[in-house]
A = this chain, B = another copy of it.
């Protein structure tokens, strides 16, 4: 499976009662369908998967599969803390049409998440999963940076096809690409902030929160790199760092949803305990994204 390209990790639209609004979801997906994305990541961190019940998680994947054309890949976030829970979730997501599952590291019992425990977890999941597995390291949320050695070992598993790296350590990203089989194991940058640097080192694409808002610009950055337009790619990358930061580290998912509304998408509230932005934060988002309107 070729996962090269750009994937927005789509947020989940809620109404004021914090219930999923599938109509809004459909409208958002239809709008995204016009952008040259490779596909969608559903129920990644930006999808607030941590606040979803298992049934909701599966139904969301089913619905996005329904709303997206067949050629768009659906990568479903299947992470649970337990290994068996993760296997069940991955199987269900595959059964409703996910082309691949993205599995973040378990993280609650941090001291127990040794290299060996992480490796065994992924092997068991990959062994039982009907679709290919993508590893997912997102230390800002989990407190765990999937070790390079574990990634290299797991890259040899026939059902593990890649890594989404949201840690952004460019040395590690380069080293992983160098040490894994070219064409077999595919690395996706987990953020638009280090997308161009990752592509320069051999990453095949990116899963970028910013692509939910500025999808065309993020796709263009990947395209410029592909065409060898390095000077233009560098300039565009420079311009995307601040807006990307605004919808990730700086203002989180509420910031992402606020920015989406500026560009005609439905944003809506987050689920509690995440809070809505305050007025000065909203103003900051607006100020940062205005040049792109």
Chain A residues within 8 Å of B, Cβ to Cβ = 18, 45, 50-53, 81-85, 106, 108-114, 116-118, 120-121, 124, 140-143, 168-171, 174-175, 177-178, 191, 193-194, 196-197, 200-202, 228, 230, 234, 237-239, 241-242, 245, 249, 252-254, 271-275
Contacts and interface: CB of A to CB of B under 8 A. Distances in A.
Contact of A82 (B142, B171, B201, B273): B273
Given A141-B109, A241-B178, A83 B273 contact: yes
Chain copies in the assembly?
4
B121 A272 contact: yes
Contacts of A120: 272-273, 275
B196 A200 contact: yes
Tell me the dominant secondary structure on chain A's binding face: helix
Contacts of A174: 193-194, 196-197, 237-238, 241
A242 B171 CA distance: 10
Contacts of A106: 50, 273
Given A108-B141, A177-B238, 8 more contacts: A45-B109, A50-B81, A109-B141, A168-B170, A171-B193, A178-B238, A178-B242, A197-B201
A120 B274 CA distance: 9
Contacts of A271: 82-84
